[in-house]
Amino acid sequence: MKILSLRTILPLAVLLLSATVVYGQVSVLTQHNNHERTGANLRETRLTPARVASGRFGKLFSYRVDGQVYGQPLVAAHVAMASGFHNVVYVTTVHNSVYAFDADQYQKSPYWHDQFGPAPGVSDAHFGCSDLNGQFGIIGTPVISAARRTLYVVSLSIAHDRFVQQLHALNIRNGKERPGSPVTIRAYGFDPLQQNQRPALLLENGAVYIGYSSHCDSGRYHGYLFAYGAGSLRRIAAFDVTPTGNGGSIWMSGQGPAAGPRGHIYFSTSNGTYDGRYNFADSVLRLSVRHGLTMRDWFTPANFKLINLADLDLDSSGVLRIPHTHLVTAAGKQGFMYLLNTRHLGHLGGAGAVQKLHATASELNGGPVYWEGAKFGPRIYVWGQDDVLRGYRLIGGKLQTRPFSRSTATSGYPGGMLSLSAQGRHDGIIWASALSRRARFHKNGAHHFSTLGVLRAYDANDLRRELWSSDRDFARDGCGNLSKNAPPTIANGKVYLASFGSRQTGTGRLCVYGLRPKS
């Protein structure tokens, strides 16, 4: 038998130890956790319903940033920084800033902070609306490539009295631009000020996908989806939802396009021109990425004319691709959820849909959450405006028409922005960012008005059971004003919540929640 020397054993022990540390850590590198946009972290071992409800859970610390945070915070585990390996949380602001903070313990300064020049404001744009208060530099949630150790984000800035949209590729360790970064986003008919980079970015098949909406349906705009090479940063393709018309923005309340097998991308569009040939407003689209971005299939509700005239966008909620099925969901301002078959979305008319469910009393903003739990099997959670949190079971390829459970608390606009944590099929918790009961309610909720938010936690098997709420001890656990479309991020025993800060404009915050040490 060969006896190993101490010199040989020590490096092996260090390697095994480091591998063990990395194994238990979770990264959230894209909006709503994955390409399906399920919103679920199924590897959360610390935050169980019993522990969250024990009285030990609460706000641990918070970071102040230089503007409102619209994007969902992203977490990269075990990043090699100058001082060693750390879990890092990345936050963007409307002031064109990107921050990298320690995700586990408060530090006075971020690991790094980038700022991409002056961001336009409402006064610069003359839109006549306040869909975004103050500045709007970085709006959409970025995406991180673990393999390339790169964060991709789009900024809007003013340079030489002109407006410019740029894609940045940043080293997640130090924030430095990668070679060839940034690149300016251009296309025929593309107005960098008129177009709002609202949906989250998608990283798929070696490309970064960037979607665009409008500002309050103001002026002439289109729903664009761009593809840029993740390494080369060269534009691969550009798709215009309404090339011979107008509108059709890709909004989805900040949710990103969903990706499926065989190089397909799914997203929904809002009001505008529809003719079923070239223009596809108020529709769910399936594009192929194998030969650029080409249309392969679509679904449009039969009442699209009414939806268009009454501003009842189909895409106020993003597309969720249900794992291990051929199903996707889409929902809008009417509160209806469509269940569609990805092998044939259905084209024009409700008869093409697998199911049309009146899922919520009012409009549904933000993406639903999907979980296959041990007790009730596959289910979908939604929290619509002026309604309660609801859970629907998925049985035999259709959603039951009556929720299996619902909460008692309601929320004005936008309803609840949801995420889920669980240990596989067990210990499910629904986390919701919603309007605080302490808020001074405006008739439009937080639609055009910055007001107090709340973080809530519910037992995913019994939504009547609220495990915890930041409103219970607001002075200790409050996080300021609601970030109106950013869902919470759960990773490694922590919950990360974006905030608009303390004022109508010019402030922002990231709050970090978890289990406090036993006294």
Mean pLDDT of 406-428: 96
What residues form DSSP beta bridges with 266?
A: 258, 286
Question: Above 80 in pLDDT, residue 447?
Answer: no
Domain co-membership, 92 together with 216: yes
Q: Is the peptide bond prior to 414 cis by the omega test (within 30 degrees of 0)?
A: yes
For position 168, which CATH number holds?
Answer: 2.40.128.630
Yes or no: say if 345 and 298 are a contact pair by the CB < 8 Å rule: yes
Domain co-membership, 121 together with 155: yes
| Higher-pLDDT residue of 130, 222 | 222
Domain co-membership, 242 together with 381: no
Question: Above 50 in pLDDT, residue 12?
Answer: no
Question: Above 70 in pLDDT, residue 448?
Answer: no
Please tell me the predicted confidence (pLDDT) of residue 128: 63
Please tell me the predicted confidence (pLDDT) of residue 503: 85
Please tell me the predicted confidence (pLDDT) of residue 446: 59
Please tell me the predicted confidence (pLDDT) of residue 15: 31
Please tell me the predicted confidence (pLDDT) of residue 465: 98
Domain assignment present for 264? no
Domain assignment present for 265? no
Domain co-membership, 414 together with 385: yes
Please tell me the predicted confidence (pLDDT) of residue 2: 38
Question: Above 90 in pLDDT, residue 9?
Answer: no
| Higher-pLDDT residue of 450, 288 | 288
Domain assignment present for 370? no
Domain co-membership, 442 together with 502: yes
Q: Considering the chain, what percentage of its residues have pLDDT values greater than 70?
A: 92
Please tell me the predicted confidence (pLDDT) of residue 247: 95
Domain co-membership, 58 together with 147: no
Question: Above 80 in pLDDT, residue 10?
Answer: no
Domain boundary among 189, 220, 250: 250
For the chain, the average pLDDT equals 91
Question: Above 50 in pLDDT, residue 369?
Answer: yes
Yes or no: say if 385 and 365 are a contact pair by the CB < 8 Å rule: yes
Q: In this predicted model, what pLDDT tens digit does every residue of 238-266 receive, in sequence order?
A: 999 999 999 999 999 999 999 998 899 99
Q: In this predicted model, what pLDDT tens digit does every residue of 33-71 receive, in sequence order?
A: 999 999 999 999 999 999 999 999 999 999 999 999 999
Domain co-membership, 118 together with 49: no
Distances (CA, A) of 483 to 13, 72, 200, 331: 45, 9, 15, 21
Question: Above 70 in pLDDT, residue 355?
Answer: yes
Domain assignment present for 494? yes
Domain assignment present for 169? yes
Mean pLDDT of 491-498: 98
Mean pLDDT of 397-409: 97
Residues 6+ apart with CB under 8 A from 316: 251, 252, 253, 270, 331, 332, 333, 363, 364, 365
In whole angstroms, what separates CA 31 from the centre of its chain? 4
Q: How many domains does the chain have?
A: 2
Domain co-membership, 131 together with 227: yes
Domain assignment present for 165? yes
Domain co-membership, 155 together with 189: yes
Yes or no: say if 230 and 152 are a contact pair by the CB < 8 Å rule: yes
pTM: 0.94
Looking only at the bridges linking them, the beta strands covering 453-459 and 207-211 are unpaired
Per-residue burial over 183-214, b if 16 or more Cβ lie within 10 Å, else e, is bebeeeebebbbbbbbbbbbbbeebbbbbbbb
Please tell me the predicted confidence (pLDDT) of residue 271: 95
| Higher-pLDDT residue of 47, 81 | 47
Mean pLDDT of 381-391: 96
Nearest to 303 by CA among 261, 332, 340: 332
pLDDT band at 183 (very low <50, low <70, confident <90, very high): very high
Domain range for 518: 40-67+377-519
Domain assignment present for 17? no
Mean pLDDT of 343-369: 93
Domain assignment present for 24? no
Mean pLDDT of 91-110: 97
| Higher-pLDDT residue of 92, 16 | 92
